[in-house]
Structure 1
Amino acid sequence: MPQSQSLPHLWLISDARNDSVLETALMRLPRGSGFVYRHYHLPPHERIARWWTLRDLCLARGHLLVLSDSALTAREWGAAGTYGAPLALYPQRKGLVQIATAHSLREIAQANRKRADAVMLSPAFATRSHPGAPHLGPVRWRLLAAHAQMPVIALGGMTALTARQLGAQRWAAIDGLSAL
């Protein structure tokens, strides 16, 4: 389990819409950034094949690889950790980073109880992932983040500028880090 200061400050999240530029985006990230591999859009055999390609690139760049899947699959695939809803986190995760997703105070409390290593709080701002959906905004985001007992990673409409607006030390993006 990592110390909070060892968690990356910048995270790229995979998605169907940034798949074609992931290699370039991963190369442009500062060494030691984080990468959350989701790729829910691919059938299982294509998902694992894409993982191995991106995994090798991430390892060469010193990026922390986190898989949106079970702890068992994360270990089998050689991921450094898991990403998902707080209730899906496992207390027996020896050596795996666990990042919980949260959209509410209830989910932050669940992440606290599960002793997640970090919580990804979203959506901070309007996002293309969920067009027209409500977002937290800076004030609500900071109020919710204050309840987390672990590092908070901002997600949703994030860029370097919106991270500064939030005062977020750690942030993640799909589009905000994938644009060429």
Structure 2
Amino acid sequence: MILPAGYSDDARTLWDVATALNRAAAAVSPRAAALPPLLFFTDPDRTPRPWETAARLPAGSAVIYRAFGAPDAVETGRKLRETTTKAGVRLLIGLDADLAQAVSADGLHLPERATSRAPAMRAARPDWLLTAAWHGGATTTEGLDALILSPLFAAGGASATKPPLGTEDFNVRAARAALPVYALGGIDAVNASRIIGACGLAGVDAIQAAFGEPPKLRT
């Protein structure tokens, strides 16, 4: 998909790189072809109104809603579900399978500590897209569709204290993985073109900055 007129240069760069990575990954592993090229991770502090960004994502992207026990999680989840359905964007819920069921999400994203839950979740919901966080060490991959490896570059949020992998280390780990691997952490329109070996891009701040504003109409 080519973005229509009005999107920022940063949005175009991120989408072009993400889709190019996805195509390259699909040529090696056909299972990657069914994966969204771009993942927008929500964060309670950094993305207080995630549905606004979700509404402007390209069709075929995905949102990973991380509620972290928020009291309005169901309300926000339903708002995201309505928005993503209209936009042709998939919705995954972080960790909380009950919330995912409640809002009719398309899948679940697991933290690395919870990857052992994937086989049971796959058996219960074979239709769900299941992803998991990964930081490069030994991890369980059974039942999962993809891993999200971070931090690639210096990142904010919970990854701010973790040393970045860098592109070379990322490529080595991704090549050895049993599943398609997304790149996450400090990715922006400037450094995205340096990434190879990923099946797509994931992010918080850069995606919100690039897609958080309505496309500008040319006059």
TM-score, normalised to structure 2, is 0.72
The one of 79, 89, 92 aligned to 2:105: 79
Q: Where does residue 92 of structure 2 map in the other structure? A: 66
Question: Does the 8 A contact of 2:74 with 2:102 survive in 1?
Answer: no
Q: Where does residue 171 of structure 1 map in the other structure? A: 201
Q: Unaligned stretches of 5+ in structure 1?
A: none
* Offset, 1:175: 0.5
Residue identity (%) = 28
Residue pairs, 1:6-155, within 5 angstroms: 6-40=34-68, 42-43=70-71, 46-84=72-110, 85=112, 86-91=115-120, 92=123, 93-107=125-139, 110-111=140-141, 114-129=142-157, 130-155=159-184
Amino acid aligned to 1:177: I
* Offset from partner CA, 1:121-153 (integer Å, 9 cap, x none): 111111111324211111111111112222111
Greater CA deviation, 96-105 or 154-163?
Answer: 154-163
Question: Does the 8 A contact of 2:51 with 2:79 survive in 1?
Answer: no
* C-alpha distance 27-76 of structure 1, shift in aligned 2 (>3 A): closer
* Offset, 1:3: 3.9
Does the residue aligned with 1:28 lie in a helix, a strand or coil? coil
Task: State the distance in 2 between where 1:159 and 1:88 align.
Answer: 32
* Offset from partner CA, 1:27-86 (integer Å, 9 cap, x none): 22111201101021622xx11111111110011001111111244542333111111132
* C-alpha distance 8-47 of structure 1, shift in aligned 2 (>3 A): same
Question: Does the 8 A contact of 2:47 with 2:208 survive in 1?
Answer: no
* C-alpha distance 132-71 of structure 1, shift in aligned 2 (>3 A): closer
User: Which has the greater radius of gyration?
Assistant: 2
Q: Unaligned stretches of 5+ in structure 2?
A: 1-29, 213-219
Does the residue aligned with 2:64 lie in a helix, a strand or coil? strand
Question: Does the 8 A contact of 1:9 with 1:171 survive in 2?
Answer: yes
Task: State the distance in 2 between where 1:8 and 1:52 align.
Answer: 21
Q: Where does residue 185 of structure 2 map in the other structure? A: 156
Question: Does the 8 A contact of 1:71 with 1:90 survive in 2?
Answer: no
* C-alpha distance 157-41 of structure 1, shift in aligned 2 (>3 A): farther
Task: State the distance in 2 between where 1:151 and 1:76 align.
Answer: 28
Does the residue aligned with 1:83 lie in a helix, a strand or coil? strand
Tell which has more relative contact order, 1 or 2 (C-alpha 8 A, sep 6+).
2
Query: What value does the CA root-mean-square deviation take over the aligned residues?
Result: 2.0
